[in-house]
């Protein structure tokens, strides 16, 4: 019976074998009860089990794909009716007033200022209409400040936190930044109870240093940044026009389709100027790395860098910030820095994206063997109901848990990954194991294949903040140090 349920759940139809769509991860809000009829229906088509990892990968669609129409996102909702009278209609003036605000510079950063200059009515109505059709999304900062990183709210910066921020600033102000001492500080900040990772104020420069993009010598930084930024835009000038050539058009077409699917409910990433930036970054990276080329999932890896480097110039929450109001040179610098830091990250995990995904295969197998040692009950529960680790952990490895966690949590997680040796590859394995153990009670309560897969693909993390990520990292470190010196620590 379990086998039959597994087949019925896992193969929806002949066109899209291997996935259930739409899959709402933690970055999506919970489904609106009014849209229940949009949930996928399971049929009884029987299918042949994939005989190899490559066959499985070919037959599994991207977990965030909403539709396969080129350049379009189909929300699978009926045509919306005019806005109703009452509460939603009464909010229209507030929305228009907010949309009508323009920006001014304060201390080198951009903030909103009220002015009589308004955007067009059609733009405001379009924004309101999108908010009307999409599920209601709680207002939680995308890149939270130290004082508001948890959804429930946190106390203002303590004396201890202020002291740590001062230490960061002193370290970064030295003529030669001691990365050894700095990484020790970063690790302490990431592991200390109640600490929220690298402070927002110094996160952009810290990420550049930790990724190896920015030199430790303070006098060389401006020169290196200018050279690397010019080099990136040299690539744009040299190669970007070839995106429509026969040899590259399929790559560009897939990038063009995937970009609107990147964080589809965050307004920042739906701005045309931002989507064009992502298209350029991904296309240039793809043609410079022919061993893998562009693979779905790499588009997610740009977003944390883009948001962090954007926050360097924006005092308010960046989620609804209009990037086009920034000076062109600032936009170009954010784009180039995002490209190079993403490239540095991918240098360590490129085998995740080469033919047959050998990096992901090895990591999923290692996760399975590790879980079998640390929690035999969960492991046997998966075996009993024929749940393969590949069916949920492929996405965890391919997207570095970005589709399971809100973006603010990913940014906090990457504070630690960048301070940890092989953080995005080796340490990520232990984070995935800790993440799985976090849902132990819920997993063991599911007694059928369909329920287990739905749980593992829709884990309720939308309200997670620094506290939850801090506990996750603490458990991951515990698991790592339990097995670190054992030659065969994944195996029994």
Tell me the pLDDT tens digit for each residue of 52-107: 555 555 554 443 443 434 434 333 333 344 444 444 333 433 434 444 455 566 55
CATH for the 2-75+354-483 domain, from 3.20.20.370, 1.10.472.80, 3.40.190.290, 1.10.3720.10: 1.10.472.80
Question: Which residue reads 């999506």 in tokens?
Answer: 28
Half-sphere exposure of 492 (CA within 13 A, CB side): 7
Q: Which of 74, 71, 58 is nearest to 21 (CA)?
A: 74
Collapsing DSSP to helix, strand or coil, 17 comes out as strand
Question: What residue ranges do the domains of the chain occupy?
Answer: 2-75+354-483, 87-133, 211-347
pLDDT confidence tier of residue 25, bands split at 50, 70 and 90: very low
Residue 211: CB atoms within 10 A of its CB come to 19
Q: Give, rounded to a whole angstrom, the gap between the first and last alpha carbons of the chain.
A: 31
- What digits encode the pLDDT tens for the residues 221-247? 899 999 999 999 999 999 999 999 999
Q: What is the mean pLDDT of the chain?
A: 74
pLDDT of residue 342 exceeding 70 = yes
Mean pLDDT of 116-139: 42
Mean pLDDT of 144-162: 48
The pLDDT of residue 108 is: 62
H-run or E-run covering 111: strand 109-113
458 vs 175, higher pLDDT: 458
- 44/50 Cα distance (integer angstroms): 17
Mean pLDDT of 121-133: 42
- What digits encode the pLDDT tens for the residues 388-424? 999 999 999 999 999 999 999 999 999 999 888 889 9
Phi, psi at 191, each rounded to 5°: -105, -20
Q: Which of 49, 12, 22 is nearest to 390 (CA)?
A: 49
* C-alpha distances out from residue 146 to 74, 112, 196, 198, 473, Å: 37, 21, 7, 9, 18
Using H for helix, E for strand and C for coil, what is the string for 40-109?
Answer: CCCCCCCCCCCCCHHHHHHHCCCCCCCCCCCCCCCCCCCCCCCCCCCHHHHCHHHHHHHHCCEEEEECCE
Question: What per-residue string of b and e applies to 234-270 under the rule 16 or more CB within 10 Å gives b?
Answer: ebbeebbeebeeeebeebbebbbbbbbbbbeebbbbb
Mean pLDDT of 375-397: 96
Mean pLDDT of 242-256: 93
- 40 within 8 A of 12, measured Cβ to Cβ: yes
- 73 within 8 A of 66, measured Cβ to Cβ: yes
Collapsing DSSP to helix, strand or coil, 314 comes out as strand
Question: Which residue reads 């890149």 in tokens?
Answer: 143
Question: Strand 109-113 vs strand 102-106: parallel, antiparallel, or unpaired?
Answer: antiparallel
* pLDDT more than 70, % of the chain: 60
- What digits encode the pLDDT tens for the residues 171-222? 677 766 655 555 565 555 555 544 567 888 889 998 998 888 988 888 888 9
Q: Which of 199, 198, 152 is nearest to 463 (CA)?
A: 152
- Is the peptide bond between 22 and the residue preceding it cis, with omega within 30 degrees of 0? yes
468 vs 49, higher pLDDT: 468
């Amino acid at each position: 019976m379990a086998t039959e349920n597994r087949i019925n759940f896992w193969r929806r139809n002949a066109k899209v074998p291997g996935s259930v769509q739409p899959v709402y991860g933690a970055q999506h809000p919970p489904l609106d009860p009014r849209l229940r009829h949009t949930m996928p229906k399971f049929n009884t088509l029987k299918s042949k089990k994939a005989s190899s990892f490559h066959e499985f990968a070919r037959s599994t669609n991207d977990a965030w794909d909403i539709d396969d129409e080129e350049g379009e996102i189909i929300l699978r909702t009926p045509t919306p009716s005019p806005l109703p009278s009452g509460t939603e209609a009464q909010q229209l003036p507030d929305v228009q007033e907010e949309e009508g605000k323009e920006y001014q510079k304060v201390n080198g950063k951009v903030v909103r200022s009220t002015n009589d200059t308004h955007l067009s009515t059609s733009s405001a109505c379009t924004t309101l209409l999108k908010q009307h059709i999409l599920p209601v999304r709680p207002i939680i900062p995308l890149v939270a400040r130290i004082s508001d990183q948890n959804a429930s709210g946190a106390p203002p910066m303590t004396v201890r936190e202020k002291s740590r921020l001062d230490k960061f600033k002193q370290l970064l102000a030295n003529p030669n930044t001691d990365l050894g001492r700095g990484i020790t500080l970063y690790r302490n900040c990431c592991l200390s109870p109640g600490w929220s990772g690298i402070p927002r104020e110094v996160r952009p420069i810290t990420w550049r240093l930790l990724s190896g993009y920015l030199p430790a010598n303070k006098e060389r930084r401006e020169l290196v940044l200018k050279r690397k930024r010019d080099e990136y835009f040299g690539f744009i000038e040299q190669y970007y026009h070839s995106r429509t050539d026969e040899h590259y058009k399929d790559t560009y077409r897939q990038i063009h389709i995937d970009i609107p699917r990147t964080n589809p409910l965050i307004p920042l990433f739906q701005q045309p100027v931002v989507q064009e930036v992502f298209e350029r970054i991904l296309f240039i990276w793809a043609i410079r790395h022919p061993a893998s080329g562009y693979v779905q999932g790499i588009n997610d890896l740009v977003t944390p860098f883009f948001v962090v480097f954007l926050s360097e110039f924006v005092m308010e929450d960046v989620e609804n910030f209009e990037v086009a109001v920034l000076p062109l040179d600032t936009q170009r610098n954010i784009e180039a820095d995002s490209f190079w830091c993403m490239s540095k990250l991918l240098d360590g995990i490129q085998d995740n994206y080469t033919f047959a995904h050998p990096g992901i295969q090895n990591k999923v197998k290692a996760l399975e063997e590790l879980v079998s040692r640390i929690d035999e009950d969960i492991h046997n529960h998966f075996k009993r109901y024929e749940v393969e680790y590949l069916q949920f952990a492929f996405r965890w490895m391919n997207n570095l848990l970005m589709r399971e966690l809100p973006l603010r949590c990913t940014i906090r997680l990457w504070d630690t990954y960048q301070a940890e040796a092989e953080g995005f590859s080796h340490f990520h394995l232990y984070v995935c194991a800790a993440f799985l153990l976090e849902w132990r009670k819920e997993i063991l309560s599911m007694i059928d294949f369909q329920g287990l897969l739905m749980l593992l693909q829709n884990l309720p993390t939308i309200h997670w903040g620094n506290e939850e990520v801090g506990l996750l990292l603490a458990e991951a470190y515990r698991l790592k140090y339990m097995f670190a010196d054992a030659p065969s620590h994944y195996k029994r």
